[in-house]
Amino acid sequence: MGTSGAILPLPRSVIIPAGLEPTLSELQAQIDRLSLVVHHGREHQGQLAPMAQQLAQLTDRLADILTGWSETDERRAIAVREVETRLADWGAIENRLHQDSAVRIRELEEAIQHEWLELRQVHDEPVK
């Protein structure tokens, strides 16, 4: 809009019902409100820089927090892998202990059976 104060006609494609055509005073009021908004925007533009700086600082803090969370997650993943490895090792040890126990129990059973047979033979044989 120019500063001459002339109001341009509406394009033909815009149809305004009768009685709703904006009056010159309504249009001037809208221009005044728009000017006031632009003026306030210029006044507050100086406040945008500190707000932008605070937003940048907040963004940096959030980035630091996310970095910390990522590092914590990586340490947790390493710890979980170590625990899983130890559990697998303990499972292997447990299997070996079960196998060793089974072998020892079988050997003990054989020894007891052998001793039982020997004891029977001693009692069954006539004394000489």
Read off the pLDDT of each residue in 34-58 and give the average, rounded to a whole number.
Answer: 78
Predicted confidence band at 69 (pLDDT cuts at 50, 70, 90)?
very high
Asked if residues 7 and 24 have their Cβ atoms less than 8 Å apart, the reply is yes
Residue 1: pLDDT above 70? no
Higher pLDDT, 77 or 10: 77
d(CA 113, CA 107): 10
How far is the C-alpha of 7 from the C-alpha of 1, rounded, in Å? 9
Q: How many angstroms separate the CA atoms of 99 and 18, rounded?
A: 100
